[in-house]
Every structure is written in C-alpha cells, then in structure tokens.
A and B are shown apart, each in its own frame.
Chain A
C-alpha cells in the first residue's frame, strides 16, 4: 500500500486520485475526531472540509519526512481549538445544547434484532453520559482523551500533534481519566 506521505507528494503535483485516497483513508476518522470534540454534526462537517482544504493550501510546505497523520491532526486540532475559543468568546451555545439527538448513531436509530429495548435504552444512556463527561473536560484534556481513546494514538504521537512535552500529555491523561471515572461512576 502506498504510504500517506507518498500520496501527499502526488497531491502536491495536483493528483486528484491521491487526494481522494487520503480522504477515503482518513476522512471518517478525522470527521469523528472533530465531531467528538465540537459536538455538532454540521460544525464538524464544516471543520472537516476546512481541514482538507488547508491540507491542500499547505501542501507545498508539507515535508514528507514527517508523518502525514500527525500533520493533518495538528491542523484539525488547531481548527478545533480556534472554534472552541471563538465559541467560548461568543458564549452563544451551552454544552448541553450540543447534546441533542443529532449525534445519534445508526445503531441508535435502527433496532438491533439481538438486543431488547431495555438494553438499547441503556446503551443510549451510556453514550449520552460519555459524551457529556468528555465534553465537560477542559479543552486540552478532552483533546488528549479523544486522540488516545478514539484515534488510537500513543502519547508520543499526541505530544507531536499537540506540540507539547510528553509529560504534559501524561499528566492531562491522568487528570482526564480521573475526572471521567468520577463522572461515569454509576456505570462502573
């Protein structure tokens, strides 16, 4: 399989197929990362589009010695942080307002023939509580949890994406898990 970095080199010369391949490989994961961070599907789609536009805008300066995923998540992370700061500044939307039924998954909507109604309701409640607990974390801790738990990144990769020392990542993760344990106590 052609590496992401090689594909990006081809994108630099205007290769649309290479760009599509990168989108197919990473689009869903990046969209979900952004979505979990901002909590709003429409905003997540806009930010995902903006991330990939920036990938193209900054393509000439991409250095294929670096990992493409680290680079693109760094862009996505910066966009999320900017959006978060602007939202905080406006103070227009509260966290709970983001928790509508908008972010139901297909599994939430379609009935699972194996599961009974009670189990489904419990799963939905668990997902809602996880979303609330994660979104209640401070921005940096939330970012670390999302990158580690849902994007499967190591601490070292997270440190590179967030541009902070490894020790800071460890400490944020420690505090985040502690807070999540307290918030999700009834499920444990």
Chain B
C-alpha cells in the first residue's frame, strides 16, 4: 500500500473497520513511513479527544412524560391482543427465537463456513434420501439446484437478514438491499449444488475408488483437467463480473468458493463419472452453477426491486 491509499484508509484503520489483510498492510506501511505514522497518531488522538464530550442528563420529568405518553398507546396495544393473538405471539416468539439463534450463528460464521455448512446439510439430506445405487437424473439435480437457489435459499436469506419484502409503514422498517448477503447467497447456492452432485455420488464410493486406481495414466485425466480449467475460468469470470458490479466485502469468500468448486469438486465429479467427458452432465454442471448464482441473487432480492434500483443509482452517483 502506498501513502495515498494508507491515508485514505486511516480513519477506517483507527476505527478497526478494515479487514485483516488491509490492516496488516497499513501496520507494515506505518512502521516504515514517518509521515503516515504521524497522520495515524493524529487521527487516533482526534478520536480520543472527541471522547471528552460527555453524556448529559435529562430533566427529571422526562421519564414521567414518556410514561404518560406511552400509557395510552400501551392500553391500545393491550386491547388489540386477543387470546388467539396471545397464542399466536407465543408461537411466533418460539419461531423468532429459533431464527434469531440461526441468524446469530450465521453472523458469527465466515461466508465460506456458512456456504460449506449449507452445502454439507444439503449433501447429507441427499445421501439420506437417495435410494442406494440408483442412477442420478441430471435434470432432477438441475431442477433441485434451481429450486434451492431461487426459493429456499432466497427465503432463508430474507428470513435471516431480517428484511421485509416491502417497505413497512414504520420508519424503522424500510428495507435495505444487502449486497454482501446476496453474494454469499449466490456462493452458498453454488456450493450447495456442488454438494448435491457429491451427495449423489457418495454411495458409489467403491466404484469411485476403483475408477481412480484403474485410471492411472495421465492421458485419462486430460478431459478432466480441461473441463476443470474451463470451469475455473467461467466461475472466476462470473465472480469477477459480480465483484465489479457490487464492490463490497465478501468477494474473497466468493472467489474462494468458486476456486474450491472448480479445482476440487468438478474433477472429483468427473472421476466419479467413470472419467468420461459427459457433455450432458457437463452442461448441467455449468448451467446449474450459473442458475444457482443468478437464482441466489434473484431469490435473495427479487422482492426488493425498488430498493435495488435505488442502491444502484446511489452507487452510480
């Protein structure tokens, strides 16, 4: 990082709002640049100075005023709650606590971990549901991928992000598009689809191992390597295009998931498929990745079109 970049990011650095890589870059730069170190020390001193503006106390009657004003609204709210509503609230309470717990867990998870968890759950379900040794129908897998990406993942993300599909009446209920969450949703969906393929092949593990041991000649792996490389390029280009459109954190995670998918999962799929280059499965895989990414984006945000267009306009400005 050069001085210009460091100084542009100094306030974020002092407020601990930078990611680990940028933070380390700045720390290294500050150790060797006296001018930037001075800037950093002054910014830090400023944030310390600002702390001198203490909190003030309100006048004693404010609490009473608020309690009086609140009483009439509280009685109205109380009247609106019938016994049936109370039962409903209790049910909602339980549901909300569950969602809250999942959301908190998801907040603490790195995007890659979240994607992997989703993938693992979907993969396990497929293994449990699949009839032993039944061949996989690529169309079904493709449809399942699209369904997962557009409906389940989209709704799941909407529920987790706590966003309303439409603008609420309350001031605080206006929806916001969460671009980071959207990308995570896309990568999660892509990984989930990959897991479906793996899950579908898990029960053929004996054949899978036999095929690997049989195909020891390098030539046998050429189609796999070619497909893997092509897939890598497609995924990398897609993610790069998305990043350009949506500059925000989470891009590294998206790229990592893409790389893992392309370099590890796809070759394994082809090995599992008796090392033959199957054009149908190949197209399905590519189509499903694209479908999953696009579906993840749509599913996550299709109810928020107005907010998205506003966000785009703001970004353009």
Cβ of A74 and Cβ of B46 under 8 Å apart? Answer: no
Q: Is A140 interfacial (CB-CB < 8 Å)?
A: no
**Does A63 contact B50, Cβ atoms closer than 8 Å?**
no
Mark interface residues in B188-223 (1 if CB within 8 Å of A CB, else 0). Answer: 000000000000000000000000000000000000
Query: Is A83 an interface residue, CB under 8 A from the partner?
Result: no
Of A49, A103, A123, which is within 8 A of B65 by CB? A49
Tell me, in angstroms, the Cα distance from A32 to B97 when the chains sit together. Answer: 31
Contacts of A70 in B (CB 8 A): 172
Q: Please, how many angstroms separate the alpha-carbon atoms of A170 and B176 in the complex?
A: 17
Cβ–Cβ < 8 Å partners of A5 in chain B: 96, 100
Q: Does A166 contact B (CB under 8 A)?
A: yes
Interface size grouping (class) on chain B = 35 or more
> Per a CB cutoff under 8 Å, which of A20, A36, A130, A159 touches B67?
A20
Residues of A contacting B78 in the complex (Cβ-Cβ under 8 angstroms) = 13-15
Complex Cα distance, B311 from A165, in Å, reads: 7
Assess the A13–B53 pair: CB atoms within 8 A.
Answer: no
Chain B residues near A148: list those with CB within 8 A: 15
Residues of B contacting A: mostly: helix
Give the nearest-CB partner of B85 in chain A: A13
One of A12, A63, A154, A160 near B164 (C-beta < 8 A): A63
- A84 / chain B contacts, CB cutoff of 8 Å: none
Select B52's contact among A127, A165, A168, beta carbons within 8 Å.
Answer: A127
Query: Across the interface, do B17 and A180 meet the contact criterion of CB distance under 8 Å?
Result: no
Write the chain B residue with the least CB distance to A176: B11
Question: Considering the complex, which residues of chain A in the window 55-76 have a beta carbon less than 8 Å from any beta carbon of chain B?
Answer: 56-67, 70-72, 74-75
Residue in chain B with minimal CB distance to A71? B172
Contact B62 A49 (CB under 8 A): yes
Indicate whether A168 sits within 8 Å of B314 (C-beta atoms), given known contacts A28-B58, A31-B62, A65-B96.
yes
Q: Are B77 and A66 closer than 8 Å at their CB atoms?
A: no
The chain B residues found within 8 Å of chain A, CB to CB, are: 8, 11-12, 15, 17, 42-43, 45-47, 49-59, 62-63, 65-67, 69-71, 73-81, 85-86, 89, 92-93, 96-97, 99-100, 103, 159-164, 168-174, 176, 179, 247-249, 311, 314-315
Q: What are 25 A-B contacts defined by CB distance under 8 Å?
A: A3-B100, A6-B96, A11-B74, A13-B81, A15-B74, A16-B67, A23-B63, A36-B53, A41-B59, A54-B170, A61-B173, A66-B162, A66-B172, A70-B172, A71-B173, A74-B174, A105-B54, A105-B56, A106-B57, A107-B54, A123-B52, A134-B53, A150-B50, A155-B15, A177-B11
New contact pairs (17) apart from A61-B173, A166-B248, CB-CB < 8 Å: A13-B81, A13-B85, A14-B74, A14-B78, A14-B80, A16-B67, A28-B58, A49-B62, A59-B73, A66-B173, A67-B162, A71-B170, A126-B49, A145-B50, A163-B174, A173-B15, A181-B43
